C-alpha cells in the first residue's frame, strides 16, 4: 500500500520522508535510480537486519522513557520499520508506545520534545481551524484521534503534553488493525491548562493560560467537528481523554450527527464486557446474574455499566433490573438517589437505599460478584477488600482497569495472593505472570487496543456513517469468542497480543456486517467477499521495490 507519489521523491528528501524511507534497505538499483548513491553506507541491509539493529539498541536502554524516545525517533524516520518491529514484538513494544510508558512520556513531553507529530489546534486558532486542517500534508485522512488533554489517563490535566495519547492510539490502529499510517491524524486541542507545574515551566510548549470554558469552548469544538466534515469527509473522529464533564455531553451531542465515538466510554466498556463474558466461562454463571460494584463513577465506569446493561437486557432482564445490578462508589461514597450532588451521568445508576460511605459496608450490603476498578486510586483494592470478595465468591472477578500502572487499584500479585489464587483478574496495564503455591497465573490486560482498532477498521471498510453502541456490544462478544480454553486454563481472559491482528480482523468484520445490516454502510455495492476485502485493506509493513 506504500508507493511513491506521482512526482517522485528522490535524494535526501526521500531519506527524510518517514513513509517512503527504507534507510539502508534501499537496493543498489534504487540508490542509482533515486539519487541515493553516497547518501547511505554502501552495505545493503534487509529489513530483518535493520530490526536486529534497532531491537539491540532498544534493549540496551535502561529506562522505558528512553526506549519510548528511541521508538518515536524511529517512527519519525522510517514508519515501515517501526510498524514491522511493533507488529512482531507487540508484547514488548506496546507497553512502550502506549500504556503504561505513554503516561510518563506525556508528563515529560515538553522536556523530551524532538519533532512535532500531528496537528496542534489552540484556542487562538478559533475562526481559523479549516485553514489549520489544510496545513496537514495528506488530504485522505480516515481516522482522527483528538484530545484536549484535560484528563490524560489517570494523570489529570496535561493539556498540550497530552499529544502522546493521540499519537500512541493511532500507532495501535496501524499495528493492531493494519490501518495505513498515512490515513491517521493525531490532534490536540490546546484550550489552556489548570496545571500549575505546566504554567510555570519555561519549557512548556502549550498555551500559558487557564482553560477556556462554556460557550467559547463549545464553539471551538463545533468549529473543529464541522471543519473535519469539510476537509476530511471520510474521517472517523475518536474523542480521547476528555474530562467527564465534557466527554459525556460531547458524545451525546455528536454521536448521531457525525462518525464518532469516545474510546474512554465505549471502547473501555467493550473490552471490559468482553472480559466479563470470558470470566463467566470460568465462573459458570450468566451475565444477567452478575452484581457489579464499580469503584469510580466516571467515563469508564458508566460506559462499562451501560454496555453491560445492554448485554443483560439481551439475556432477559428489563433495563431497570439490569441497572439495579450495577452499584457505584465515587469519591463521596455509594451513589444513591438521596444525594443531591450527583453529576448527570451518575443519576441513572443512583440506587434507592440508604447512603453508605465505607467500601466494606457496601460490599457486605451488595455481595458483588465482580469488583470493577476505574477509580484511578492506587491500591484501593487492598487486602481487606479482596479477602471479603473472596469470602463472598468462590471465583471473585477483580478488574483493576485504571492506567497507568501507578494508578491500578491492585496488582496482579496482590489480587491472586489475597484471594488464594481464586480471583479472575484483569488489569488496564500489563502485569507479569504470577506464581503462587506452585501455580502460575497469566493475568489478562483489558487493553482498549483489543477493541478500537478493529471497530475502526470495520467502520472504514464499510464507510459507515455512524459508530453505534451496538457495534461495541458486538465487538465485545467477538473478542470474548477469540479467547480459547487454553487461555482460560491459565487464568487469562483475553487472547495473547500475538493474535491481535486476527482479533481486529474478526471485530472489523462483525462491525462492517452490522453497518450493512443497519443501513449505515456507504461502501456500495457491498463487497462480495467482505472478509477478503477487509484483509486487503490491512497494511503490511514490508518494504516495496521502487524501481
Sequence ranges of the domains in the chain: 11-77, 96-258
Q: For the residues of 443-454, what is the DSSP string, one character each?
A: -EE--GGGTHHH
Reported confidence tier of residue 8, pLDDT bands at 50, 70, 90? confident
Whole-number average pLDDT of the chain: 96
* Average pLDDT for 216-244: 97
Q: At what angle do helices 164-177 and 79-88 cross, to 10 degrees?
A: 70
From the list 271, 248, 273, 257, the residue with the least C-alpha distance to 452 is: 271
The DSSP H or E segment spanning 474 is helix 469-481
Q: Answer with the residue of higher pLDDT: 530 or 498.
A: 530
48 burial class (0-12, 13-18, 19+ CB within 10 angstroms)? exposed
Structure confidence at residue 214 (pLDDT)? 97
Q: At what angle do helices 383-392 and 359-366 cross, to 10 degrees?
A: 10
Give tens-digit pLDDT for 392-445.
999 999 999 998 889 999 999 999 999 999 999 999 989 999 999 999 999 999
Decide: 455 and 509 in contact? Cβ < 8 Å: no
The DSSP H or E segment spanning 231 is helix 214-231
Superfamily grouping for domain 96-258: Malic enzyme, N-terminal domain (3.40.50.10380)
pLDDT at 3 over 50: no
Structure confidence at residue 82 (pLDDT)? 98
> What percent of the chain shows pLDDT beyond 70?
99
3-state secondary structure of 115: coil
Structure confidence at residue 435 (pLDDT)? 95
Give tens-digit pLDDT for 125-137.
999 999 999 999 9
- The DSSP secondary-structure symbol of 436 reads E
Reported confidence tier of residue 342, pLDDT bands at 50, 70, 90? very high
CATH 1.20.1370.30 fits 11-77, yes or no: yes
Decide: 383 and 416 in contact? Cβ < 8 Å: no
How far is residue 129's CA from residue 283's CA, in Å, rounded to a whole number? Answer: 52
Decide: 300 and 275 in contact? Cβ < 8 Å: no
From the list 388, 355, 354, the residue with the least C-alpha distance to 371 is: 388
How far is residue 117's CA from residue 79's CA, in Å, rounded to a whole number? Answer: 13
Decide: 456 and 143 in contact? Cβ < 8 Å: yes
Give tens-digit pLDDT for 368-384.
999 999 999 999 999 99
pLDDT at 115 over 70: yes
Distance between first and last Cα of the chain: 15
Structure confidence at residue 112 (pLDDT)? 97
The single residue listed with the C-alpha cell 521502487 is 546
* Average pLDDT for 148-160: 96
Kindly tell me the sign of the dihedral angle through the C-alpha atoms of 228, 234, 238, 244.
Answer: positive
Structure confidence at residue 4 (pLDDT)? 42
How far is residue 216's CA from residue 126's CA, in Å, rounded to a whole number? Answer: 9
Peptide bond into 404 cis (omega under 30): yes
Structure confidence at residue 154 (pLDDT)? 86
* Average pLDDT for 39-67: 98
Grid coordinates standing for 25? Answer: 534497505
* Average pLDDT for 463-489: 97
Give tens-digit pLDDT for 300-327.
999 999 999 999 999 999 999 999 999 9
What CA dihedral angle connects 61, 64, 67 and 71, to 10 degrees?
170
Which phi and psi (to 5°) does residue 484 adopt? -90, 165
What CA dihedral angle connects 48, 49, 50 and 52, to 10 degrees?
90
262: β partners: 239
Report the catalytic residues.
Answer: 98, 169
Amino acid at each position: 500500500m506504500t508507493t511513491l507519489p506521482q512526482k517522485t521523491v528522490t535524494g535526501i528528501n526521500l531519506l527524510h520522508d518517514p513513509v517512503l524511507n527504507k534507510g539502508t534497505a534501499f537496493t543498489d538499483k534504487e540508490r542509482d535510480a533515486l539519487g541515493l548513491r553516497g547518501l547511505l553506507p554502501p552495505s545493503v541491509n534487509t529489513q530483518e537486519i535493520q530490526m536486529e539493529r534497532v531491537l539491540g539498541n532498544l534493549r540496551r536502554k535502561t529506562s522505558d522513557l528512553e526506549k519510548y524516545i528511541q521508538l518515536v525517533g524511529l517512527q519519525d524516520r522510517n514508519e515501515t520499520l517501526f510498524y514491522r518491529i511493533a507488529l512482531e514484538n507487540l508484547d514488548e513494544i506496546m507497553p512502550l508506545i502506549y500504556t503504561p510508558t505513554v503516561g510518563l512520556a506525556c508528563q515529560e513531553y515538553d522536556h523530551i520534545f524532538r519533532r512535532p507529530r500531528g496537528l496542534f489546534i489552540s484556542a487562538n486558532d478559533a475562526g481559523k481551524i479549516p485553514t489549520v486542517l489544510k496545513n496537514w500534508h495528506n488530504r485522505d485522512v480516515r481516522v482522527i484521534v483528538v484530545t484536549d488533554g484535560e484528563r490524560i489517563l489517570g494523570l489529570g490535566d496535561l493539556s498540550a503534553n497530552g499529544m502522546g495519547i493521540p499519537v500512541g492510539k493511532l500507532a495501535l490502529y496501524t499495528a493492531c488493525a493494519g490501518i495505513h499510517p498515512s490515513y491517521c491524524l493525531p490532534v490536540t486541542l490546546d484550550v489552556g491548562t489548570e496545571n500549575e507545574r505546566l504554567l510555570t515551566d519555561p519549557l512548556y510548549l502549550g498555551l500559558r493560560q487557564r482553560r477556556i470554558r462554556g460557550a467559547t469552548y463549545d464553539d471551538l469544538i463545533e468549529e473543529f467537528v464541522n471543519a473535519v466534515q469539510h476537509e476530511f469527509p471520510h474521517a472517523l473522529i475518536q474523542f480521547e481523554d476528555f474530562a467527564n464533564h465534557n466527554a459525556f455531553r460531547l458524545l451525546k451531542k455528536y454521536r448521531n450527527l457525525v462518525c464518532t465515538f469516545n474510546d474512554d466510554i465505549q471502547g473501555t466498556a467493550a473490552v471490559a464486557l468482553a472480559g466479563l463474558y470470558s470470566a463467566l466461562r470460568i465462573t459458570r454463571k450468566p451475565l444477567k446474574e452478575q452484581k457489579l460494584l464499580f469503584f469510580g463513577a466516571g467515563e469508564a465506569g458508566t460506559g462499562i455499566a451501560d454496555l453491560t446493561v445492554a448485554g443483560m437486557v439481551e439475556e432477559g432482564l428489563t433495563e431497570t433490573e439490569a441497572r439495579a445490578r450495577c452499584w457505584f462508589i465515587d469519591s463521596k461514597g455509594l451513589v444513591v438517589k438521596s444525594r443531591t450532588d450527583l453529576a448527570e451521568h451518575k443519576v441513572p445508576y443512583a440506587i434507592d437505599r440508604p447512603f453508605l460511605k465505607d467500601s466494606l459496608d457496601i460490599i457486605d450490603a451488595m455481595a458483588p460478584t465482580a469488583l470493577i476498578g476505574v477509580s484511578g486510586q492506587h491500591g484501593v483494592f487492598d487486602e481487606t477488600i479482596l479477602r471479603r470478595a473472596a469470602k463472598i465468591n468462590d471465583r471473585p472477578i477483580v478488574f483493576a482497569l485504571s492506567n497507568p500502572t501507578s494508578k491500578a487499584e491492585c496488582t496482579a500479585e496482590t489480587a491472586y495472593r489475597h484471594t488464594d489464587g481464586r480471583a479472575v483478574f484483569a488489569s488496564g496495564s500489563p502485569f507479569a505472570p504470577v506464581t503462587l503455591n506452585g501455580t502460575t497465573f497469566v493475568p489478562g490486560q483489558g487493553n482498549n487496543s483489543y477493541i478500537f482498532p478493529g471497530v475502526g477498521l470495520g467502520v472504514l471498510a464499510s464507510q459507515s456513517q455512524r459508530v453505534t453502541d451496538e457495534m461495541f456490544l458486538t465487538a465485545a462478544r467477538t473478542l470474548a469468542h477469540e479467547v480459547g480454553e487454553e487461555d482460560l486454563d491459565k487464568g487469562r481472559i483475553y487472547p495473547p497480543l500475538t493474535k491481535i491482528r486476527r482479533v481486529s480482523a474478526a471485530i472489523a468484520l462483525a462491525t462492517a456486517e452490522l453497518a450493512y445490516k443497519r443501513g449505515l454502510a456507504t461502501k456500495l455495492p457491498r463487497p462480495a467477499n467482505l472478509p477478503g476485502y477487509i484483509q486487503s485493506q490491512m497494511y503490511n509493513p514490508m518494504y516495496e521495490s521502487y524501481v
